[in-house]
Structure 1
């Protein structure tokens, strides 16, 4: 299936997402959308948490990985990808489940907890670079050299469409949704969800980023994908640059209504809130979305708000750090 030529058309992508939902539903979970009495009462909003942290491999990434590989049909080709962790785990599980061979390139600073989980699925791993863009470049070079098929963690319409299936579930469970808060790294998640929502009605889509790595936001402001330094952040899954030519950039320009950045302290506070009030361990990228809503809460009083809790893969050291802070 060649969906890449329709990469920029939101309307076309909405249709691809519907097909993706049918294709992957036997392989992934329809994750719960839970009401948060505490956050709702605290903010005077009706707040719901879309718990992709409960998805197989502990993040939304399984949707995109399964859809992309399935969309290529029966193939003996070997697959290569690059990942800071969550996509790599999803890719590894998809390869194992669908009986494909795969290699994951990870940056040298990738979470050891996520690397350890990747190894459980028997995928080959290689480390390269400290920024995900450099890691992705090396993975593409390796794929070209070995004749393998490269699968981007986000810069691919098949992957984006898989992530967009979350939008179908959101509207199915909460038809009167007003606004959704989604963390942005490379932009695959928000591109998919946003594209689907925009084909279904007037829903507000908020892009959320750590202030230490707001690359997509700054790129949209500049009107082009830019290179900039990213600093250490609890939101390691969303950190780093955006691949040149990524279809997520024009999609983010079209479907994201507003951008917000949050500090490391705000992310930590949000992660701690999820632990204390919902008994949920979530990673920093999930904390970004919660913190972003809390930052803008006064503007959404009385609204039906969904917050994408995108993952739960966090190292014990990071969890201890967050708890110790509070």
Structure 2
């Protein structure tokens, strides 16, 4: 069973393998709390997952290692297992959801593992990995529901306490629960007064629902940009650890996740994937009891899919009122569009895109629909612009 002694042993084993990642203060996440960031996005392989994967691999028996290993992952555990197996000269097969970010798939292959892409989400990849285990005799390395894996992840908690002894709150992303199980066990064992809160995406609240209802529950589906924590069902071991050590679990929306990613990019020049940014999103939007408290946000990973990063940024800009799209109907006469654009410019908004359409069926002859996307300073500036347009007689939607 997971214990502080196991976590402390994992810390020794990981010396020279895993990086002791930075922990620094952020002045821009929440003005009402003293917030710090634990940067596991700067870990080897770009995620905390190496810690648990390596500690588990080191503790395989000679017989287990001889058969090779199989694992299932949305991407980060895949890379951790692949690198750990490479270091120990153990063959590795990794089952990943077919929709996993290409960057994670290619990175896993680069560490020498065989990748099997499985239609569906993490749980479907898990079923395939179990099938291969039974068929080929591989040793299965679970991504979260394993004492050694949880112990490896718990070294993040030890590092937080070493670098910030007076920490009062720690916010930790939750997918299956391996990271928060280890972190909470370490922190609660050494500093019981420190609160540990888990953070899940609202579109994948498997642990949140399970803890709320006092039993392990399985979601019918998950939908979130935070692919690394899109897990339908927590493990029995992680569920038990969360019941024992975690003070509460909160959820964040897709818009809040996007705003967290955007803040880290813009203010700290730091890339975080959706799963990694949920803790920052929670702190930004006052999820959990953090007001006036020294709070650490664990950024669990930075392996974001570059192909969707621009969409995430756009969503974050929209949430913050800095990118706004609106439609209006106006008379289709020469000079009218110029007048509209002049008003927008005078209000200090930057025009991003304009579409002029006179072929809309529901619009009367002699009128047209104009769709405008503008960049504004903030929500207040956006509201001022809309108010000005309405005062000039425009029907803004």
TM-score range, shorter chain: over 0.9
Instruction: Pick the structure with more strand per residue.
Output: 2
What's the CA shift string for 1:219-264, capped at 9, x where partnerless?
Answer: 1112221111333211110002125x53101111111101111110
For 2:279, what is the secondary structure of its paired residue? helix
Cα deviation, residue 281, structure 1: 1.0
Cα deviation, residue 97, structure 1: 1.6
Q: Which residue of 2 aligns with 1:203?
A: 194
Q: Structure 1 residue aligned with 2:132, among 139, 142, 166?
A: 142
What's the CA shift string for 1:114-162, capped at 9, x where partnerless?
Answer: 1111111121011224132222122122112211110001011110000
Q: Which residue of 2 aligns with 1:104?
A: 94
Q: Structure 2 residue aligned with 1:24, among 14, 22, 32?
A: 14
**Which structure 2 segments of 5+ residues have no match?**
318-397
Q: Distance in 2 between matches of 1:293 and 1:44?
A: 10
Q: Which residue of 2 aligns with 1:232?
A: 223
Query: 1:137-176 residue pairs with structure 2 within 5 A?
Result: 137-176=127-166
Cα deviation, residue 183, structure 1: 0.7
Cα deviation, residue 100, structure 1: 1.0
Q: Which residue of 2 aligns with 1:66?
A: 54
**Which structure 1 segments of 5+ residues have no match?**
1-5, 8-12
State the structure with bigger RCO (CA 8 A, min sep 6), 1 or 2. 1
Give the conservation status (yes or no) of the 8 Å contact 1:195–1:255: yes
Q: Distance in 1 between matches of 2:208 and 2:287?
A: 20
Give me the TM-score of the superposition, normalised by structure 2: 0.76
Cα deviation, residue 324, structure 1: 2.6
Give the conservation status (yes or no) of the 8 Å contact 1:283–1:314: yes
Q: Which residue of 1 aligns with 2:111?
A: 121
Cα deviation, residue 200, structure 1: 0.7
Summarize the Cα distance change of 1:288–1:298 in structure 2 as closer, same or farther, 3 Å threshold: closer
Give the conservation status (yes or no) of the 8 Å contact 1:43–1:298: no
Q: Which residue of 2 aligns with 1:276?
A: 266
Displaced runs of 4 or more, over 3 A:
none
Q: Which residue of 1 aligns with 2:242?
A: 252
Summarize the Cα distance change of 1:50–1:114 in structure 2 as closer, same or farther, 3 Å threshold: same
Give the conservation status (yes or no) of the 8 Å contact 2:250–2:288: no
Q: Which residue of 2 aligns with 1:185?
A: 175
Q: Distance in 1 between matches of 2:157 and 2:85?
A: 25
For the pair 1:131 / 2:121, whether they are aligned, the reply is yes
Instruction: Pick the structure with more helix per residue.
Output: 1
For the pair 1:309 / 2:299, whether they are aligned, the reply is yes
Q: Which residue of 2 aligns with 1:46?
A: 34
Q: Distance in 2 between matches of 1:58 and 1:159?
A: 17
What's the CA shift string for 1:64-109, capped at 9, x where partnerless?
Answer: 0100001125542300100000000111111112211100001122
Give the conservation status (yes or no) of the 8 Å contact 2:50–2:77: yes
Q: Distance in 2 between matches of 1:93 and 1:163?
A: 16
Cα deviation, residue 265, structure 1: 0.5
For 2:37, what is the secondary structure of its paired residue? strand
More divergent stretch after superposition (132-141 vs 309-318):
132-141
Q: Distance in 1 between matches of 2:174 and 2:284?
A: 17
Give the length in aligned residue pairs: 313
Q: Distance in 2 between matches of 1:80 and 1:299?
A: 40
Give the conservation status (yes or no) of the 8 Å contact 2:52–2:151: yes
